[in-house]
Amino acid sequence: MTISTLSTRHHQTDELNMDQIFAQAANNENISFGMGLPDDAIFPSAALAEAFNQAIQQEGATIFQYHATQGPLSLRQKIATLTAEYFDFKPSPEHIIMTQGGQQAIDIVGRAFLDKYDHIIVEAPTYMGALDAFDSYEPTYHEVALESDGLDMVQLEATLQQFPETKFVYTIPDFQNPTGVTMSLAKRQQLLALAEKYDFYVIEDSPYRYLRYSGTPLPSLAALDTHGRVILVSSFSKILSPALRTGWLVANPELTALFLTIKSALDVQPSHLSLMAIDYFLSQHRMADHIATIIENYREKCWLMLDRLAADMPAEVTFTQPEGGFFIWVTLPDTMDATALLAGPVLTEGQVVYVPSEMQYASRQVKNHFRLNFTGVTTEQIHTGVARLGEILQRQCAAIQ
Amino acid sequence: MTISTLSTRHHQTDELNMDQIFAQAANNENISFGMGLPDDAIFPSAALAEAFNQAIQQEGATIFQYHATQGPLSLRQKIATLTAEYFDFKPSPEHIIMTQGGQQAIDIVGRAFLDKYDHIIVEAPTYMGALDAFDSYEPTYHEVALESDGLDMVQLEATLQQFPETKFVYTIPDFQNPTGVTMSLAKRQQLLALAEKYDFYVIEDSPYRYLRYSGTPLPSLAALDTHGRVILVSSFSKILSPALRTGWLVANPELTALFLTIKSALDVQPSHLSLMAIDYFLSQHRMADHIATIIENYREKCWLMLDRLAADMPAEVTFTQPEGGFFIWVTLPDTMDATALLAGPVLTEGQVVYVPSEMQYASRQVKNHFRLNFTGVTTEQIHTGVARLGEILQRQCAAIQ
């Protein structure tokens, strides 16, 4: 039996994926700005250990048993409260579905809506994991450029006019992955008006919204939505622990039953033990206090990295100015290839890892950008790593003069 | 936006699914022979609590961080050893991929191989969760009848002659779900010979193999396979805890990279914390001792249920004689409908839950059987529940005379 019997969605198996980047990043010789890692220091390890203990003691053996696919109601109630606090609207716990990280929520949405060749719109660039998930359903991607205040609305409407059958727009409106860009209020309103006009859903993927370092929060798309067109995805991965693999969907009420059917087919149900441990943790600790601590840590690193980029990068290289989140997006001159640079001097000489732009565009064609993460590294690594990158890029830019 | 924009795989959303059965089963008024629940009493709660504690203390904060998609090597090594002990062959840990329960392993296989309308063969009846997973890829199902010693080999070869493009056969050779039937050695050898002749993969789903109450173990398909045609799926759900959501794939070496790419797109990676806790548990406890304890508990219940069925069922009702696992399969006269009976007297009068056959056939057409689980109930519930079922079925059978 040969590889030709695989499904058509897997005809290409040689693409870079997140796990491979992660493998490079996990090599301790390198300074990794690659993966979107939280700082180990932010994990409330002792409190989580205690929460696991308490949950097991107090719930008894039944905590190790099968439970409902949607996740425990008590946790969904706490997530509704957290959503009210950070997203300006309070969903019913009945419409919250626990998922295996935000990634599974994205996959569930893809599975619910997409037949082969269906039309969807994604930001250019966008979260590479979302592309991996959607790729499974072999959609027709339309990319809309991201500006410093979010999607290019002229291009978006032109795309919708040409492809009115578009099923959804997938967007990360706050501190976007990979660019760090935040969508303006005006564009949020325009996007929702277009959703109504052209009859599509908006997938609001928002794991970073809790982490604002400057500026004023804007209303979430879900809060502005008055027609049930927004499906919100969020997660504890960036604010509590990625290893707990706990994300959620806030579903349109009509879609809840379908999403649960899909979740059940994917992996039956979430880990009740992990969810109950988080539930116990949230009963005893104010999430807002914990988030405030994280923000202090990450704000310093964000501003330091912006400062060092300004100091060390050649004039031809530009970068975004995020007000929160995990990432800064760096743009090289058009003719430069960030993938080739990574495989060349950046890794071998600089021992620095970033995520090249190629894997962050649906087209897989745009090569002259890369994503830097600042949360998973020390301030010393930011100093050293940006200096090494700066030196290499100074040399590369000088060579193309 | 209406339901018509959903993907074609989800045109039917009103089917019974496992979660709905589980909701009925979770009603404490009822005696549930429905879901395949382990007995709460078998969970080594104190030892698992201690293992979580130790893992968090000894691994430090990094246990809450992102880790590799494949799962920790130390756990995969222990699973290789467990596989050697129970499946008669020792896989390389490099070819073991941790999954979110066995369910996700089945979904990964579907995603890897299936395009819409592709041909696959399943047992009739088969595990309803596997049908849910494969349904997502909209295959063409061919059902092959299950006899008391496994697949009907004449019908299997006839099906393969008619559909030589069949991509795989999905089978549960040991203590099959839902029938409890075990495939004979001769049929195992014939199945592998047919796989070679007709060039297909065999998905060996084997969560129950550890739990044999009588008779002699037969070699696993994976152990008999000399051509890399068997993909083995197993899980800790039935022998340790379902809430830990820990299963695995033993992949054909050629397929490992692809399966990892799919796992990454589904949910990035497993819960490192849960996997490390299991790893610590397995370092300190002999799994074989734990399994021996479970077998004692379940053997008594299995034999009791068989005894009570023999005593209480009318002569027209037959049932299988499993040598292990979780389930007994009951066959009613052809004209009777187990789904209607469940919704009628069985639930309302008998307050008993079973899984009707309808949802356990790819055709969704066969109605005169149901599945009984004996592991998740007490011996008293077996006495009472089977007596109530017997009374109802005596009456129903008398009525159709």
The model's confidence at residue B19, banded by pLDDT at 50, 70 and 90, is low
> Tell me, what's the pLDDT at B10?
72
Contact call for residues B233 and B33 (beta carbons, < 8 A): no
Residue A16 pLDDT greater than 70, yes or no: no
- Residue B39, pLDDT score: 97
Chain A hits for B114, Cβ within 8 Å: 7
CB A207 within 8 A of CB A240: no
Give pLDDT, residue B252: 85
Q: Which fold has domain A3-43+289-396?
A: Aspartate Aminotransferase, domain 1 (3.90.1150)
Report whether CATH 3.40.50.300 matches the domain B62-284. Answer: no
The CATH 3.40.640.10 domain(s) of chain A lie at: 45-286
Q: CA torsion sign, B53 to B59 to B62 to B65?
A: negative
* Tens-digit pLDDT profile for residues B311-363: 999 999 999 999 999 999 999 999 999 999 999 999 999 999 999 999 999 99
Query: A23 vs chain B: nearest CA distance in angstroms?
Result: 8
Cβ contacts of B256 on chain A, cutoff 8 Å: none
**Residues in chain B closer than 8 A to A167 (CB atoms):** 5
Residue B166, exposed/middle/buried by CB under 10 A (0-12, 13-18, 19+)? Answer: buried
CATH 3.90.1150.10 region(s) of chain A? 3-43+289-396
The stretches of B5-162 forming alpha helices (DSSP H) are 18-25, 45-59, 73-87, 101-113, 128-135, 153-162
pLDDT-derived band at B29 (thresholds 50, 70, 90) equals: confident
Average pLDDT of chain A is 94
Asked if residue A240 has pLDDT above 50, the reply is yes
pLDDT score of A125: 98
- Would you state the pLDDT for residue B13? 45
Of B60, B100, B242, the CB nearest to A100: B100
| Yes or no, beta carbons of B37 and A65 under 8 Å apart | yes
Q: Which residue has the higher pLDDT, B4 or B185?
A: B185
Question: Terminal CA-to-CA distance of chain A, rounded, Å?
Answer: 52
Domain with CATH 3.90.1150.10 in chain B: 13-43+289-400
Does the distance separating the beta carbons of A265 and B65 come in below 8 Å? no
For residue B264, give the nearest of A65, A115, A132 by CB distance.
Answer: A132
User: Does pLDDT of B2 surpass 60?
Assistant: no
Question: Which of B2, B3, B5, B199 should we substitute to test contact with A (largest number of A Cβ atoms within 10 Å)?
Answer: B5
Spatial distance between the Cα atoms of B102 and A214, rounded to a whole number of angstroms: 45
Task: Examine the pLDDT at B160 and tell me if it is beyond 90.
Answer: yes
Across the range B230-254, mean pLDDT stands at 96
For residue range A139-171, what is the model confidence (pLDDT) as tens digits? 999 999 999 999 999 999 999 999 999 999 999
What's the mean pLDDT in A82-95? 97
Minimal C-alpha gap between A149 and chain B (Å): 28
- pLDDT tens for B262-297 read 999 999 999 999 999 999 999 999 999 999 999 999
Over 70: is that where the pLDDT of A266 sits?
yes
Query: Taking 90 as the threshold, does the pLDDT of residue A19 lie above it?
Result: no
B64's tokens = 């809450």
Q: What is the pLDDT of residue B400?
A: 86
On average, the pLDDT of chain B sits at 94
pLDDT at A22 over 90: no
Q: Answer whether residue A24 shows pLDDT above 80.
A: no
Q: A375-399, pLDDT tens digit by residue?
A: 999 999 999 999 999 999 999 999 9
Residue type for A258, please? L
Q: Is B334 exposed, middle or buried (0-12, 13-18, 19+ CB in 10 A)?
A: exposed
In CATH, what number does B13-43+289-400 get?
Answer: 3.90.1150.10
Q: Above 70 in pLDDT, residue B232?
A: yes
Which of A163, A203, A266 best probes binding to B when mutated, by most B CB atoms within 10 angstroms? A266
Q: How many residues does chain B have?
A: 401
Share of residues in chain B with pLDDT > 70 (%): 95
Q: Are B125 and B145 in contact (CB under 8 A)?
A: no
What's the average model confidence in pLDDT over B167-186?
98
Phi first, then psi, for residue B275 (nearest 5°) are -65, -40
Query: In a mutagenesis test of the B interface, which of A225, A271, A326 is the best target, namely the one with the most B β-carbons within 10 Å?
Result: A271
**Distance, CA of B79 to CA of B93 (rounded, Å):** 8
A34, A213, A346, A364, B261 from A342: Cα distances, Å: 11, 29, 5, 16, 21
Q: What is the CATH number of domain A45-286?
A: 3.40.640.10
Pairwise CA distance, residues A286 & B350, whole Å:
47
| Pairing between β-strand A246-250 and β-strand A96-100 as defined by DSSP bridges | antiparallel
Q: Which part of chain B has CATH 3.40.640.10? A: 62-284
pLDDT confidence of B28, banded at 50, 70, 90?
confident
